[in-house]
Amino acid sequence: MDKRIYLLTTLTFIVGLVELIIGGILPFIAADLDISLGQAGLLISAFSLSFAIAGPVLLSLTAKMERKKLIMIVLVLFLFSNGIAVVSNSLLVLLISRILSASGAALLVSLCLTIASQISLEAYRSRAIGTVLMGVSASLVLGVPLGLFLGNEWGWRAPFVFIVAVTFILMVLIQFTLNSIKPKPYVPLSTQLRALRKPTILLVHSVSILFFIGHLTLYAFLTPFLQSTLHVSGNALSFLYLLFGIAAICGSWFGGYASDRFGNRQTMVVALAFFAFVLFIVPLVSTNGLLLIPLLMLWNFLSWTITPAIQGHLVASAPKTSDIQQSINNSATHVGMAIGSVVGGLTIDVYTVDFNAPVGGFFAVIGLIVAIIAVKIK
């Protein structure tokens, strides 16, 4: 596999870190800026919404630019936006920082995925995509714990100082290690969007939305679920998140490997089927830690197995418009994440957190049905 893939993986890692690191420092931000925790939560919503909107739009507007130059420009924006967070003293300024940061992140992830598929041999394409996505899954291991550690030691601005420093180092590495990469032949946005008329393309994007609704219905509220069922907190909770993050990294790698070995369609359907099944089993073993923890590790493993298969299927189904399709799919995942968080919150309000897993499983089953229909369409 092309060694440049690992540099792209590092880029997606820092992007994932920016998105996730704030989850551990929201209480510090709320206390320092004298706002409610709910208001501080807008920083997460603003990031997800901006990410979903900015990706396809910015990718289309920059379609003719040489890719290395574009990555460097985006990293400058990334560095600048997180620098704003370091000096911000109000929620409004911090929101502006998150919106700018999300816009850069959306374009950067899309670029990394499209470049990975572009520079890889066809036999390794899904594996390359899975490896790049490992950067995001790896940030799951470090995001919240690192944010908590830096926030506790030096205040909530410290994580953003760390991100600015790492971004600068990456800019230097890319400048001296990444060669010039030409963009694909320009295809007008109207032509690219016409690919959405293909039923299989539209259905696969729908699968991403439904799958992430199912996933976030539980994952967004995993901490209260674990506190309610296993009565864990503090270091024990951090350790469990470490285990889940490691499982996610392994799942991302395996998703790429399985897609290359067995096919994108087969991997997508089989992984979704097991993913839905696990969510329905979770409530049955929720009070038994010896069963629940391995099951939740499997759930996290499967959640990151599915995306490389979906991305690989999109590249194979619409090779001429794969750039915009991968970007639209990234947006679809963030739409699903936003909806899933709302569904999970409503489930807790109406019932209890114990119902989040089967409710998520319901959406996963719908996603599975849509996936089966999608792969049968030629």
Per-residue pLDDT, 308: 85
pLDDT above 80 (res 197): no
Per-residue pLDDT, 1: 63
Per-residue pLDDT, 134: 79
Same domain flag for 232 and 378: yes
Per-residue pLDDT, 362: 96
Per-residue pLDDT, 144: 66
Q: Which two tokens stand for residue 131?
A: 């490896």
Amino acid at 67: R
Per-residue pLDDT, 281: 96
Rounded to whole angstroms, the Cα distance separating 40 from 246 reads 28
pLDDT above 90 (res 293): yes
pLDDT above 70 (res 192): no
The CATH number for 338's domain is: 1.20.1250.20
Q: Among 3-7, 82-86, 207-211, 307-311, where is mean pLDDT lowest?
A: 3-7
Q: Which two tokens stand for residue 317?
A: 């189904």
Q: What is the sign of the dihedral through the CA atoms of 370, 372, 377 and 378?
A: positive
Any idea what DSSP says for residue 320? G
Same domain flag for 332 and 214: yes
Banded pLDDT at 189 (limits 50, 70, 90) = low
Same domain flag for 148 and 48: yes
| Overall average pLDDT of the 301-326 stretch | 82
Banded pLDDT at 234 (limits 50, 70, 90) = low
SS3 assignment for 212-229: HHHHHHHHCCHHHHHHHH
Per-residue pLDDT, 191: 65
Q: Are 21 and 146 in contact (CB under 8 A)?
A: yes
Per-residue pLDDT, 358: 96
Residues 37-82 have pLDDT tens digits of 667 767 877 887 888 888 778 877 887 888 888 989 999 998 999 9
Residues 8-45 have pLDDT tens digits of 888 888 888 888 777 667 778 888 999 876 677 678 77
Rounded to whole angstroms, the Cα distance separating 146 from 152 reads 10
| Overall average pLDDT of the 211-233 stretch | 86
Amino acid at 23: G
Any idea what DSSP says for residue 23? G
Per-residue pLDDT, 294: 96
Same domain flag for 236 and 364: yes
Same domain flag for 158 and 24: yes
Rounded to whole angstroms, the Cα distance separating 36 from 26 reads 10
Of 157, 186, 215, the one marking the end of a domain is: 186
Banded pLDDT at 361 (limits 50, 70, 90) = very high
Rounded to whole angstroms, the Cα distance separating 291 from 294 reads 6
Residues 109-151 have pLDDT tens digits of 888 888 887 777 777 777 787 788 778 777 766 776 777 678 7
* Structural domain range at position 354: 188-378
Same domain flag for 106 and 252: no
Of 133, 164, 186, the one marking the end of a domain is: 186
Number of domains in the chain: 2
Rounded to whole angstroms, the Cα distance separating 280 from 367 reads 15
Maximum C-alpha span of the chain: 56
Q: What is the mean pLDDT of the chain?
A: 84
Of 125, 151, 186, the one marking the end of a domain is: 186
Q: Which two tokens stand for residue 280?
A: 């329905």
Same domain flag for 134 and 246: no
Residues 6+ apart with CB under 8 A from 62: 70, 107
Banded pLDDT at 195 (limits 50, 70, 90) = low
Q: Over pLDDT 70: what percentage of the chain?
A: 93
Same domain flag for 196 and 49: no
**Higher pLDDT among residues 257 and 377, named by residue:** 257
For residue 274, give Cα distances in angstroms to 54, 199, 268, 295, 305: 32, 25, 10, 11, 11
Same domain flag for 157 and 69: yes
Per-residue pLDDT, 359: 96
Rounded to whole angstroms, the Cα distance separating 221 from 342 reads 11
Same domain flag for 311 and 350: yes
pLDDT above 70 (res 297): yes
Same domain flag for 154 and 252: no
Please count the residues of the chain: 378
| Overall average pLDDT of the 226-248 stretch | 82
Rounded to whole angstroms, the Cα distance separating 9 from 15 reads 10
Q: Are 255 and 271 in contact (CB under 8 A)?
A: yes
Q: Are 252 and 305 in contact (CB under 8 A)?
A: yes
Closest CA to 6 of 105, 108, 88, 128: 128
Same domain flag for 175 and 199: no
Residues 6+ apart with CB under 8 A from 36: 30
